[in-house]
Structure 1
Amino acid sequence: MLADDELRDTVLLMFANKQKHPDAMNAAEITDKLGLHSLRHRNWYIQATCATSGDGLYEGLDWLCGKRAPVV
């Protein structure tokens, strides 16, 4: 889906939840597993989060707000 030409200008923010769990994959591991480095010329970001504490939520949303397309 992410390789679809119609979505080429779409940004991708992925929240890596459960980061306080001892078996959680970190952002680098998720990047490798999903092959995100192969998405050349695409804006994507993985934000480590913990839903119960809210850690990482605002940081991810701040990144996304900085990537939005300008209004024409």
Structure 2
Amino acid sequence: MTTEQSTELQNTLETMLTRIAMGDDITEQLFKIQEISIAIESTAPTMLKHYLQKKSYTKALDFLKEE
């Protein structure tokens, strides 16, 4: 997983969680997360892949922030 992919995923997750809190539609963010997940599947850390597969997006964001 490249630094750019990590940053893009983190930004997308943050945007999605903000939109959820505001009651806004998150369809665009869900598609983007899926797209990034596919792109990083072979290179992402195991725990991050687990969080994304289980749709534990807050945990995925926390993981990215700790890196």
Q: Which one has a bigger Cα radius of gyration?
A: 1
Same fold, judged at TM 0.5 (above) = no
> Counting strand residues as a fraction of each chain, which structure ranks higher?
1
Shorter-chain TM-score category?
Answer: 0.3 to 0.5
User: Which has a greater percent of helix?
Assistant: 2
TM-score by length of 2: 0.36
Question: TM-score w.r.t. structure 1 length?
Answer: 0.34
